[in-house]
Chain A
Amino acid sequence: KQEVTQIPAALSVPEGENLVLNCSFTDSAIYNLQWFRQDPGKGLTSLLLIQSSQREQTSGRLNASLDKSSGRSTLYIAASQPGDSATYLCAVLKYSGGGADGLTFGKGTHLIIQP
């Protein structure tokens, strides 16, 4: 059974710092890995999608890497801003048997950027 773990569970840093969020998964047979952002009580906003054949993706101040063999991904946020405060979720898409399992999510990292 695929399990996704995110470390740390919570993080509070001053504005302007660069930071790294970590995600690990137990089964390396994945199709893709996606990073999401969730604001309190809201839906998920897709940040970055990394296909299993890719090593990294970049969007603005965000960079995500994937090491499928070791079952790890990192999300790097440069020059953090108070508006980055949210819960960041990592999810992997894996197939098993005759169909897709859907995305398996970690429990998230709750990020607070102090002004």
Chain B
Amino acid sequence: EAGVTQSPTHLIKTRGQQATLRCSPISGHTSVYWYQQALGLGLQFLLWYDEGEERNRGNFPPRFSGRQFPNYSSELNVNALELEDSALYLCASSLGAGSTEAFFGQGTRLTVV
């Protein structure tokens, strides 16, 4: 069974551009979470999607947005990129909201120059 897959593996963008990151959850999982792991800051919760809707977001500005498609895959968009957005972006999926185990993908390394 395939795990959580993310694409691309690496992404290099220029400050001010937009970045789009993609995530495919484990088959049968309806919840997708996005996390940012910036150097020295640890993992921080970004967004949670379940059944196609945004359920909650962390303490990030509105230029971080996303969506979940009918097949439960998800896209994270970061507009007006800043140097500080350089980080490893991790996607996780779970069976649904509640006390379920989260499974993570390998991440997308975003570098803003």
Measuring CB to CB, which residues of chain A are less than 8 angstroms from any residue of chain B? 31-32, 34, 36, 41-46, 49, 51-52, 89, 91, 93, 99-108
Contacts and interface: CB of A to CB of B under 8 A. Distances in A.
B61 interface: no
Interface in B84-112: 88, 90, 92, 97-99, 101-107, 109
Interface of B: 4, 6, 33, 35, 42-46, 48, 55-56, 58, 88, 90, 92, 97-99, 101-107, 109
Contact of B55 (A100, A103, A107, A108): A100
Contact of A44 (B58, B97, B104): B104
Contacts of B109: 41
A103 B6 CA distance: 19
Contacts of A106: 42
A105 B106 contact: no
Given A31-B98, A46-B101, A46-B102, A104 B90 contact: no
A42 B107 contact: yes
Q: Name the prevailing secondary structure of the A interface residues.
A: strand
Interface-central residue, B46, B98, B99, B106, by most chain A CB under 10 Å: B99
Given A44-B104, A99-B48, A89 B55 contact: no
B36 to A, nearest CB: 11
Contact of A36 (B58, B98, B104): B104
Nearest to A106: B42
Contacts of A32: 99, 101
A77 B16 CA distance: 46
10 contacts: A43-B4, A43-B105, A46-B104, A91-B43, A93-B102, A99-B48, A102-B33, A103-B43, A105-B44, A107-B42
